[in-house]
Chains A and B, each alone.
Chain A
Amino acid sequence: MLILGIETSCDETGLALYDSEQGLLAHCLHSQIDLHQEHGGVVPELASRDHVRRITPLFNEVLSAANRQRADISAIAYTAGPGLIGALLVGASFARSLAFALDIPALPIHHMEAHLLAPMLEEQAPTFPFVALLVSGGHTQLVRVDGIGEYELMGESVDDAAGEAFDKTAKMLGLDYPGGPALAKLAVDGNPDRFRFPRPMTNRPGCDFSFSGLKTHSLTTFRKTDGNDQDKRDVARAFEDAVVDTLLIKCRRALDATQLKQLVIAGGVSANHSLRQRFADYSQQSSVEVYFPRNEFCTDNGAMIAYAGFRRFELNPNASNGTDVRPRWPLSELSVA
């Protein structure tokens, strides 16, 4: 069985081919970072315009990279939500008409489900059940995962997503979009002892997050400094440490509550080096195994959509031909089949 995965929910056009026997055969990605950089964030109309230009060339590229023919494809999985509606519609229209032309099923995939399954593309893969921390520019969620479609939301951000807080704090420090990775780079040379920022909502029970106040705290702190390069590094370090600490505290809480011993961390922020190191240390010091996708599959990509499509198709080969896109689509509304 060969599944084509198509991702167009935001600012990356990703296509991939996953084979049920051989695993991931190829994946191709076009990132729109350069396109949105001058605007300081993703411009939805520009994103949609770019997806429709890229999708067919990427399809040809991924087929060629996998050395397969279009007739070899058994089903097409596409991101149906959540995401930017115009961007989602490009992928959905292409996916569904291609599936129609090839007489194969089109499978609508939940973007966050695909993220949380992404570590299963690795050799060291988690097995159900596990706790998943989904941490990106749009989401910060802790989810108990008992199987495909069996998701219990344990906590989420009540305001900014962690990645959003990274980007906004970076912007405030004068860093270019996307600021998150740039902030992380600055933080490497920051003094960890100069500032200590609060760990929001860790003194309350539960697994919810709040990062908006931390962003404001960073701004207030930075304004009290001379604003030189070292000040930026030190604020960046204090901010990153506070976010990573907070995420770790809440993950431990979720693991304690569920008594589960596996933790999956996925989404764009899971590529953060400091976060990976802290959680790896935690894993060594505890009986908890921590799983990440490889770096290139932390951000949006077609491979995770193809893989989620494969798992969904295995469960229910008759669930096909999709649906309209859903820009807002809570993970907890998914079911097994």
Chain B
Amino acid sequence: MSRILAINSASDFCSVTISDTDTVTTTTRSAPTERGHGDAVLAMIDQILQETNYAKTSIDALAFACGPGAFTSLRIGAGITQGLAVGIDRPVVPISSLAMLAHGVYRQHQRQRTLVAIDARMGQVYFAAYETAVIGDSQLVSEVRVCDPVELTWSKGAWTTVGNGWQVYADEIPPDSALKYIGGGAEDSAIDVACLAEKIVKEGKALPAEFALPVYVRDRVVHQAC
């Protein structure tokens, strides 16, 4: 039985969810991501705590979308998660931003096989394929890659696609009429962060606060000294 506070700060929308496996409820706030959205995330956390009347210390674990995504946004999420986790002395669960979107497709559309592509800037996408057969468990069935859109490949078949990468690079991605595009998918994705974290918390695999770290995937960064 667990109560999880989940945060996604690294997509077009940032969102916050409290899920409670006892009462089988989730409470969520979401807003388009803007500059300074660390403020918005903290305000949303405050709102849902007040709305649910949960004390901060009643939270059992903190989950967050750890990436890949925009580097600075990922670090805002990681920084907020570390600060909260240290403050209430609770463990953390990093959840892949790509798995989060794939899980959202299953949760909302009951489609199991999903290709996720999100804009990685610099003309590239972050990409991975997932299969989700039950709520709370999205299985990675490919590599997680950062690559040019023209290099994207997937096995034949009926895949659902999600993430802003499909839209941003629509002209460059190899066409496949069997694909069904769902959309950006990030609007209330903190729910999916919470769902995916539940199993990990239940298995006792949540981590100490300092492990709330971004997963960049793109490690080749511009090494320009200032």
Q: Do A and B come together as binding partners? A: yes
Query: Taking the complex as formed, is B56 at the interface, i.e. its CB lies under 8 A from any CB of chain A?
Result: yes
Stretch at the interface among A82-90, A211-219, A229-237, A291-299: A82-90
Report the count of interface residues on A (CB-CB < 8 A). 38
Residues of B within 8 A of A41 (CB): 225-226
Stretch at the interface among A47-55, A192-200, A245-253, A269-277: A47-55
Query: Taking the complex as formed, is B221 at the interface, i.e. its CB lies under 8 A from any CB of chain A?
Result: yes
CB <8 Å contact, B38 and A100: no
Stretch at the interface among A91-99, A260-268, A300-308: A91-99
CB <8 Å contact, B72 and A86: yes
Q: If A94-B82, A100-B45, A101-B56 touch, does A45 touch B87 (CB 8 Å cutoff)?
A: no
Query: Taking the complex as formed, is A166 at the interface, i.e. its CB lies under 8 A from any CB of chain B?
Result: no
Residues of B within 8 A of A42 (CB): 225-226
CB <8 Å contact, A70 and B87: yes
Q: If A40-B225, A41-B225, A84-B226 touch, does A100 touch B76 (CB 8 Å cutoff)?
A: no
Residues of B within 8 A of A97 (CB): 42, 79-84, 87
Q: If A59-B86, A70-B86, A98-B87 touch, does A90 touch B75 (CB 8 Å cutoff)?
A: yes
Closest chain A residue, CB of each to CB of B222:
A45
Of A46, A84, A97, A98, most B-chain CB atoms within 10 Å: A97
Residues of A within 8 A of B89 (CB): 70
Residues of B within 8 A of A48 (CB): 71-72, 75
CB <8 Å contact, A101 and B83: yes
Of A44, A85, A177, most B-chain CB atoms within 10 Å: A44
CB <8 Å contact, B75 and A52: yes
Of B42, B85, B87, most A-chain CB atoms within 10 Å: B87
Q: If A52-B214, A89-B72 touch, does A101 touch B84 (CB 8 Å cutoff)?
A: yes
0/1 string, A24-63, CB within 8 A of B gives 1: 0000000000001001111111101100110111011000
CB <8 Å contact, B210 and A57: yes
CB <8 Å contact, B76 and A56: no
CB <8 Å contact, A101 and B79: no
Residues of B within 8 A of A43 (CB): 221-226
> How many contacts A-B (CB < 8 Å)?
113
Query: Taking the complex as formed, is A146 at the interface, i.e. its CB lies under 8 A from any CB of chain B?
Result: no
Q: If A42-B225, A45-B222 touch, does A95 touch B75 (CB 8 Å cutoff)?
A: no
- What is the minimal beta-carbon distance from B163 to any residue of chain A, in angstroms? 23
Closest chain A residue, CB of each to CB of B38:
A93
- What is the minimal beta-carbon distance from B29 to any residue of chain A, in angstroms? 15
Residues of B within 8 A of A95 (CB): 83
Q: Considering the chains assembled together, what is the distance between the CA atoms of A256 and B88 in angstroms?
A: 54
Query: Taking the complex as formed, is B61 at the interface, i.e. its CB lies under 8 A from any CB of chain A?
Result: no
Among B29-61, those with CB < 8 Å from A are 35-36, 38-39, 42, 45-46, 56
Query: Taking the complex as formed, is A102 at the interface, i.e. its CB lies under 8 A from any CB of chain B?
Result: yes
Residues of A within 8 A of B81 (CB): 97
Query: Taking the complex as formed, is A324 at the interface, i.e. its CB lies under 8 A from any CB of chain B?
Result: yes
Residues of A within 8 A of B46 (CB): 100
Q: Considering the chains assembled together, what is the distance between the CA atoms of A250 and B128 in angstroms?
A: 60
CB <8 Å contact, A39 and B79: no
- What is the minimal beta-carbon distance from B48 to any residue of chain A, in angstroms? 13
Query: Taking the complex as formed, is B78 at the interface, i.e. its CB lies under 8 A from any CB of chain A?
Result: yes
Q: Considering the chains assembled together, what is the distance between the CA atoms of A101 and B82 in angstroms?
A: 11
CB <8 Å contact, B86 and A93: no
Among B208-226, those with CB < 8 Å from A are 209-210, 212-214, 216, 221-226
CB <8 Å contact, A46 and B221: yes
Q: If A39-B225, A97-B42 touch, does A102 touch B79 (CB 8 Å cutoff)?
A: no
0/1 string, B187-222, CB within 8 A of A gives 1: 000000000000000000000011011101000011
Among B55-69, those with CB < 8 Å from A are 56
CB <8 Å contact, B78 and A52: yes
Q: If A43-B225, A46-B221 touch, does A56 touch B75 (CB 8 Å cutoff)?
A: no
CB <8 Å contact, A100 and B84: yes
Q: Considering the chains assembled together, what is the distance between the CA atoms of A56 and B213 in angstroms?
A: 11
- What is the minimal beta-carbon distance from A208 to any residue of chain B, in angstroms? 23
Q: Considering the chains assembled together, what is the distance between the CA atoms of A49 and B46 in angstroms?
A: 27
Of A53, A94, A99, most B-chain CB atoms within 10 Å: A94
Q: Considering the chains assembled together, what is the distance between the CA atoms of A84 and B75 in angstroms?
A: 14
Q: Considering the chains assembled together, what is the distance between the CA atoms of A95 and B82 in angstroms?
A: 10
- What is the minimal beta-carbon distance from A81 to any residue of chain B, in angstroms? 13
CB <8 Å contact, A89 and B75: yes
List 7 extra interface pairs beyond A94-B83, A101-B83, A101-B84, CB under 8 A. A86-B75, A89-B76, A97-B42, A97-B82, A99-B83, A100-B87, A101-B87
10 nearest A-B residue pairs (beta carbon): A101-B87, A41-B225, A93-B79, A97-B83, A98-B83, A56-B210, A324-B36, A97-B80, A94-B83, A94-B79
Binding site for B on A (CB under 8 A): 36, 39-46, 48-49, 52-53, 55-57, 59-60, 70, 84-86, 89-102, 177, 324
Q: List 11 A-B contacts (CB under 8 A).
A: A43-B224, A45-B222, A49-B216, A52-B213, A89-B38, A90-B79, A96-B38, A96-B83, A100-B42, A100-B83, A324-B35
